[in-house]
Structure formats: C-alpha cells, structure tokens
Amino acid sequence: MLEVSKLSCGYGDIVAARDISFRLSSGEVLSIIGANGAGKSSTLMCLSGLVEQYNGSIQVNGVELAKLKPEQRIQKGISIVPEGRRIFPDLSVLENLIVGGQIVDKSTLHLGCEQAFNYFPRLRDRQRQLAGSLSGGEQQMLAIGRALMSQPKVLLVDEMSLGLMPKVVDECYEVLNDLKQKNVAIVLVEQNTERALNAADQVLLIEASQVTWQGSAEALKQTPELFNSLLGLHKGN
C-alpha cells in the first residue's frame, strides 16, 4: 500500500529526517518512535506533502507522490490527522467535515459525515456548533473525522493522545483499530510510547533524524532491553 524509499526531508538547510525507508501493507500500523525533535513529525508531514522532500520516493499502490501537491496526495489516498488538530475554529463541526471531503464526489459527503458521527456520536450532537468551542478531546475527534472524509487508503496520525484524557484516547484508538480492520494502512507518531507500541505491527525508531532500528512489533518485544528503554522514552521527554 505505502512504500517509502530513502526519503530525506527538512526545512531549507536543516535536515529533519534522512534516508527513511519502509513498506506498509493494507491493514497494518507502523508506529514511528523517537525522542522530541528526532524527525518523526517531519517525516509524517513530508509524506503528506507539507514539508519539503529533498530526495527519495513515496509510493501509494505503485503511484509516485514525490512531486504532487498535498491536495493531489489526498486524491491518491493519503490523509493526515495533524499534531495540534488544526481544525477551523470559526467553522461549525459539519463545515469542518465538509472541508475534509472537498475532493470526493458530493453525493458521498453525507456518507462521510455519517461515518464520522457513528465513530464519534458527540460530533453529531454538536454538528452546528463552532469547532473552536469544542473541548480538546472533541476537537481531536473532529480532526480524525475530517481526515476520514476523503476515504483514505493511508492515514497519517500525528500525536493523537497529546493532552487528552485517557477515556478519549481509548475512543480514538478504538476508531484506529476499526480502520485497521477495514484495511486502512496507518502511520502513527505518538508521544505515548506504550500506546504506540501496543498498536503497532511495525516499528520505526528514529534518533537524530535517522532510523536506528526497524522491524516488527513482535521482534521488538523479543528485545527486552530496547523495548523497556522505549517504554521509558515518553517519561523522559
């Protein structure tokens, strides 16, 4: 579904991530782990076209995305739930969802909204409410629902649990699990390392902008020293 090869990206002369490579199949979750500033979010933003790509390849179902604009990448099947939610505060919940569905056939907008409301019933109750007046957890639900409006094949999720109550985090992860069962490939950057590792099929460890370990989650669990050090990573940052 998603194949990334020797991807490097950054901001002008500043290299944020270097030589990132991985393959992700439908219905798999890749968790990208690392300390703050390691290059995790920059990698995710580069996949979606929001950070400059220096070199390498990004393919979805064999289609090269490297030279495509963010909106064109959405059309090819990539959607992102950005760090900090980035909802439109002066638009209603429903209007935010509709913005997320701009590339789909207008006849399917209703189905996309219904999917978001079924995943998060609170959004249905607040669909006419300004998004900026929602709680942090509700805004995260809206950010996920908005990203799903384009019916993505690959969902990028950046720091989903940051600042949220555990109950809300549980609800969001239940949605990710359901999407996985529906064969959506998910790339997850998550400050809660334990959550990220428990959700993962594959793990990518980035340190100082480079991959220092990658493999299956099961293989990682068979490496107790590394696994335990990663579990303590969040507590140290």
DSSP letters spanning the chain = -EEEEEEEEEETTEEEEEEEEEEE-TT-EEEEE--TTSSHHHHHHHHTTSSEEEEEEEEETTEE-TT--HHHHHHTTEEEE-TT----TTSBHHHHHHHHTTTS-GGGHHHHHHHHHHH-HHHHHTTTSBGGGS-HHHHHHHHHHHHHTT--SEEEEESTTTT--HHHHHHHHHHHHHHHHTT-EEEEE-S-HHHHHHH-SEEEEEETTEEEEEEEHHHHHT-HHHHHHHHTTGGG-
Domain 1-77+153-165+183-237, CATH homologous superfamily name and number: P-loop containing nucleotide triphosphate hydrolases (3.40.50.300)
Phi–psi pair at 147, nearest 5 degrees: -65, -30
**Which positions ≥6 away from 228 have C-beta within 8 Å?**
none
Residue 141 contacts residue 172 (beta carbons within 8 Å): yes
User: Hey, where are the domains in the chain?
Assistant: 1-77+153-165+183-237, 85-151
> Tell me, what's the pLDDT at 235?
47
pLDDT beyond 50 at 236: no
**Which positions ≥6 away from 110 have C-beta within 8 Å?**
none
Using CA atoms of 164, 165, 168, 174 in order, give the dihedral in degrees to the nearest 10.
Answer: 90
**Spatial separation of the C-alpha atoms in residues 33 and 44, rounded to whole Å:** 12
Specify the amino acid at residue 148: L
Q: Higher model confidence: residue 202 or residue 101? A: 202
pLDDT beyond 70 at 101: yes
* Angle, vertex CA 196, rays to CA 1 and CA 48, nearest 5: 45
pLDDT grade, residue 237 (50/70/90)? very low
**Spatial separation of the C-alpha atoms in residues 46 and 58, rounded to whole Å:** 9
Residue 148 contacts residue 112 (beta carbons within 8 Å): yes
Query: For 56-79, how does the pLDDT look when each residue is reduced to its tens digit (9 = 90+)?
Result: 999 999 999 998 999 999 999 999
pTM over 0.75: yes
Query: For 18-54, how does the pLDDT look when each residue is reduced to its tens digit (9 = 90+)?
Result: 999 999 999 999 999 988 888 999 999 999 999 999 9
